[in-house]
Structure 1
């Protein structure tokens, strides 16, 4: 892999990689910590958009540090003049876009283009994941969108689930602060944790072998990209935070902490589904559609 260069928007911080098996993972944590505990990719293709009767285009993007990312562009099922916008979808930490695509497969029929990207190491994307690398990747994706003709006259929205939301917060905050084009007109965060360090400490606390080391190990996670520290900078772009009281992966309090830290305009949707299962409920889809419709004209 080529030497990693600094991102144009986000300050680079070198992070190390670590092994996947639990025993080796524990040793790596005890010896100095590892950001890779946030990433559980695989290379399996679970479903492709055509199996869902969706038109799509395979997209391959080169990152500044030499990786190649794979994504899917799903065009809106409307005439170009009737397209309501483009949703940039950042998925959660496990598997790849082919296992997450159902979360946004309903949007093209509602008049939205969707662009979904796999971070390095996921699916057909090259490389190995870490926090810094994934931040490179989500920025590479939005820069590709910025150059796409379909985004010139229609609003762009960011939808991040779980880890995808944690990556989307610093990306959106810097994009807004620097007045980049196309403008992000709304941000939706679904089941997102409030900070990498906070959730790492909680997970370490739940495992007997790392319980005693939860405080020092959590500090090996870089504190530069904590969502609660950056979410207020997304304002004046409207933000919708979704979190389930039954989320067994990212506890409910994370959503409330993000909502408290965010500046207006902001909204909170309390749900009652399992983690990242929001859009199996039609009423929750309607809430998001209503938010997107209002957000594009709100500022």
Structure 2
């Protein structure tokens, strides 16, 4: 009996130390380098993009041009925490046909991107991709939209609020957040609380995560850029309550879409795609009016 208790204590301590040393990064990042699907297999035109970060990493991304002669805008896509862009591309593969350019990147440690993933690095990578778009791809009149799913949504909130706060140009025309969460600490605490072995440690371990990137505290700073928040009532990964809480914290103009799909499977459903493109049309109009 004593031996079993000792073993349990040691296992718990080892797990706690592992999480503490990684700053709970293991809860957020599950990258791999396998190629699941490439744009050409979906009959999409594309080109590879390689970007250098300020700290010496190389990020890989795909540029997917709009199929229409005159694009409706450019969507910058930040994906979720697992695998890499080749497994997430189906979430945005429909957008070129809808008239939007798409740029999606892998954070450090994902796919062809170098380095090891961590929160600060992923935030830096997300900004690196957005800055490349702003400096190299966009005509002055080209609307720029940020679309983030799950982890990408949380990174997107921090990025969009800072972009707006610094009055960076071009301004974001719209932000779409799908299946995101209220904060890194908040979701870490929830996930640690689901497992009996880490339940007693959920509060102290969550405090190893930097507190300045909690979406619930930052999302209001995105205004006056229109924000659309999407969350599924059937999401088994990020509980539904995160969506309404983010919506409540956001400033107008904003819109909420409750869906009914598995986690981050929103764009399998044509009705939800149309809801997003309708929002983008109204959001872009609002952005144009703000610039007058």
- TM-score by structure 2 length? 0.92
After superposition, the C-alpha distances for 1:253-277 in whole angstroms (9 at most, x for unaligned) are 0011100110011100000000000
Asked if 1:133 corresponds to 2:121, the answer is yes
For 2:277, the equivalent position in structure 1 comes to 289
Contact 1:42 1:94 in 2 (8 A): yes
1:51 to 24, 36, 41: 41
Partner of residue 133, structure 2: 145
Greater helix share, 1 or 2? Answer: 2
In the TM superposition, what are the counterparts of 1:3-22 in structure 2 within 5 Å?
none
Moved over 3 A (4+): 22-27, 30-33
CA distance in 1, matches of 2:196, 2:144: 44
Contiguous gaps of at least 5 residues in structure 2: 1-11
Name 1:42's counterpart in structure 2.
32
Per-residue deviation, residues 135-155 of structure 1 (Å, max 9, x unmatched): 110000011001124443210
RMSD: 1.5
> Within 2, Cα distance between the matches of 1:45 and 1:293?
33
Deviations 1:234-283 (A, max 9, x none): 01100000000000000000011100110011100000000000001100
1:215 positional shift: 1.0
Secondary structure (helix, strand or coil) at the match of 2:126 reads helix
Matched residue, 2:142: 154
Q: Tell me the equivalent position of 2:201.
A: 213
Q: 2:254 aligns with which of 266, 271, 274?
A: 266
Structure 1 residues 107 and 32, CA, compared in 2 at 3 Å: closer, same or farther?
closer
Q: Secondary structure at the match of 1:243?
A: strand
How many residues were matched structurally? 276
Q: 1:62 to 1:162 in 2, by over 3 A?
A: same
User: CA–CA distance in 2 between the matches of 1:86 and 1:30?
Assistant: 39
Give yes or no for contact 2:78–2:149 (8 Å, CA) kept in 1.
yes
Contact in 2 for aligned 1:90/1:160 (Cα 8 Å): yes
Equivalent residues of 1:246, 1:252 under 8 A apart = yes
Tell me whether 67-76 or 203-212 shows the greater mean CA deviation: 203-212
Q: Is the CA contact 1:30–1:213 (under 8 Å) kept in the aligned structure 2?
A: no
Secondary structure at the aligned position of 2:107 is classed as: coil
Q: CA–CA distance in 2 between the matches of 1:246 and 1:287?
A: 18
Based on CA coordinates, which of the two structures has the bigger radius of gyration? 2
